Structure 1
Amino acid sequence: MGRVAEPITDHDTEGLDMASRPRSRRGDYRRLLWRALRVAVVLALIPAVLTFLYMPSFVHPVSTLMLKDLATFSGYDRRWVSIDDVAPVLANSVIMSEDGQFCSHHGVDLGELKGVVDDAMAGEITRGASTITMQTVKNLFLWSRPLGSVRKVVELPLAVYFDALMSKRRIMEIYLNIAEWGPGIYGIEAAARYHFGVSAKNLSRRQAALLAVALPNPITRDPGKPGPGLRRLAALIERRAARAGAYVGCLD
């Protein structure tokens, strides 16, 4: 007579379960990884596609902060204005205050970036190296805080890509229309009217300089009611803008 197979006991099935668990966990990890990669690809495609959509001058993009204000029912004031209807001294002042190499770099100022890296490696306090193009892509596609260092990693290639497709004049036009100039105040037209009661086209040299130096911190820096420190900065930028010359040639 043949040998009768022994019945499988609970102890045996426990061993089979233990053997299958590592493979099951590895499969779960792989599935999670693929899902994360798919999400990353989709998130990367969004700004890539939107950049093409934002190229025509009749398109008026909004910033992530503006979308947040809408989502929280805070509301905001933004009046899109063509760069042709902005006083040239305003754009000149912004360049001389925010990004002196705007017309010559390709989205990222490598010289300034190297200085920041060197300072960080030496354990010193780092200075800002954000270009107007970097600020534009941040405002359009990214977040402000937290995870600022992660944002910078994403911001750099986006700025290079954005600069490769957009003209400098269009980048400046978008930036001036999405920059924040106070709580719920976005864009140069709304800012000029809110702070000085004039249109962007009629800004004076001093008003333009005050608006430019308020950009790094528009919540605490009030160009309409400047303190002594802000007035000193504005006077410096006003002088620089008056002799900007080739620094602003890409806007002609």
Structure 2
Amino acid sequence: MAKPRTSKSRKKAKPTRRFRPMRWLLRWGLRVVSVVFLIAVAVTLLWSVLNPPTTFYMMQESRRLGGVDHEWVDMNEIAPIMARAAVAAEDANFCLHWGLDVVAIRRAIDEGSNRGASTISQQVVKNVYLWHGRSWVRKVMEAAMTPLVEAIWSKRRILEVYLNVAEFDEGVFGIEAASRHYFGVGPEALSNVQAARLAAILPNPKDRSASNPSSFVRKRASQILSGAATIRADGRARCFQS
């Protein structure tokens, strides 16, 4: 006579899994963040060794103007004074921060403006990876990507890219085009005064001229020359000078 099947011999029914929307959102949110981070690392690595052929803003201006003047030039083909002048004009503590100048940001907040708070590294991220504008979305992306660029690129590379993508006049991008546009010489032949005047027209090159400087540009260029000498003497140019 067969023994009746005990409860232990019966197959246990699999419990139904409850759908937890918050856990699902968290899991997929982490996956999306991971993918975005990996993409950001990949594109940052890419432009650390390859020269960006153009930027989103350059493409916009090219469509609007029917073309732009832009040619890449390596850092060792740019007069050293030009690099120091750009740093003195736009980001004197370039060698001391990791992409975000907290002191300058606090000072700008106290003064009620954002002038001087954007570092050269932030401007490179904005120009190469993002778009121009004052939206909070772009600002957040810029703040997130800047430390990544600082971690992967050298300071010299950051400054090289900056000098090659900065706008110096309407449709004139990069120090190679700017040097010839304003002074008829290559960037390697720039004099101290010429370099200071090019730095002085930033960040409003459409309203200023390096070859026909206003009194404001002349005064600012003089201050930049003094600043360039200071950062050379006190070591704040060491991170990008060969």
TM-score, length-scaled by structure 1 = 0.77
Deviation at 1:45, TM superposition (A): 5.5
Structure 1: which 5+ runs fail to align?
1-26
Counterpart selection for 1:232 from 219, 227, 231:
219
Question: C-alpha separation between the residues in 1 aligned to 2:114 and 2:178?
Answer: 30
Mapping of 1:129-140 within 5 angstroms?
A: 129-140=117-128
Deviation at 1:168, TM superposition (A): 0.4
**Corresponding residue for residue 43 of structure 2:** 50
**1:222–1:73 Cα change, 3 Å:** closer
Q: 1:47 touches 1:141 (CA, 8 Å); kept in 2?
A: no
Q: 2:105 touches 2:114 (CA, 8 Å); kept in 1?
A: no
Question: C-alpha separation between the residues in 1 aligned to 2:53 and 2:106?
Answer: 31
**Corresponding residue for residue 108 of structure 1:** 100
Q: 1:93 touches 1:209 (CA, 8 Å); kept in 2?
A: yes
Which whole-Å deviations, capped at 9, do the CAs of 1:100-126 have from their partners, x for residues lacking one? 11011101111112223444xxxx445
Question: C-alpha separation between the residues in 2 aligned to 1:227 and 1:59?
Answer: 34
**Corresponding residue for residue 197 of structure 2:** 210
Structure 2: which 5+ runs fail to align?
1-20
Deviation at 1:136, TM superposition (A): 0.3
Deviation at 1:158, TM superposition (A): 0.9
**1:65–1:44 Cα change, 3 Å:** farther
Matched, 1:88 2:92: no
Question: C-alpha separation between the residues in 1 aligned to 2:120 and 2:104?
Answer: 13
**Corresponding residue for residue 133 of structure 2:** 145
Question: C-alpha separation between the residues in 2 aligned to 1:215 and 1:47?
Answer: 28
Matched residues, number = 214
Question: C-alpha separation between the residues in 1 aligned to 2:41 and 2:91?
Answer: 24
Question: C-alpha separation between the residues in 2 aligned to 1:70 and 1:49?
Answer: 27
Q: 2:164 touches 2:174 (CA, 8 Å); kept in 1?
A: yes
Deviation at 1:243, TM superposition (A): 3.1
Q: Percent identity?
A: 38
**Corresponding residue for residue 150 of structure 2:** 163
**1:146–1:129 Cα change, 3 Å:** closer
Give, as a single letter, the amino acid of the residue that structure 1 aligns with 2:217: L
Q: 1:136 touches 1:171 (CA, 8 Å); kept in 2?
A: yes
Q: Secondary structure at the match of 2:43?
A: helix
Counterpart selection for 1:247 from 222, 227, 236:
236
Question: C-alpha separation between the residues in 1 aligned to 2:177 and 2:89?
Answer: 20
Q: Secondary structure at the match of 1:249?
A: coil
Which whole-Å deviations, capped at 9, do the CAs of 1:7-65 have from their partners, x for residues lacking one? xxxxxxxxxxxxxxxxxxxx9xx99xx89x96x87766654322110111x53442221
Counterpart selection for 1:76 from 68, 78, 98:
68
**Corresponding residue for residue 3 of structure 2:** none
TM-score, length-scaled by structure 2 = 0.80
Q: 1:137 touches 1:158 (CA, 8 Å); kept in 2?
A: yes
Give, as a single letter, the amino acid of the residue that structure 1 aligns with 2:237: V
Give, as a single letter, the amino acid of the residue that structure 1 aligns with 2:94: F
Q: 2:65 touches 2:171 (CA, 8 Å); kept in 1?
A: no
Q: Secondary structure at the match of 1:181?
A: strand
Question: C-alpha separation between the residues in 1 aligned to 2:40 and 2:59?
Answer: 15
Question: C-alpha separation between the residues in 2 aligned to 1:146 and 1:106?
Answer: 22
Question: C-alpha separation between the residues in 1 aligned to 2:59 and 2:36?
Answer: 17
Q: 2:79 touches 2:190 (CA, 8 Å); kept in 1?
A: yes
**1:220–1:43 Cα change, 3 Å:** farther
**1:126–1:163 Cα change, 3 Å:** closer
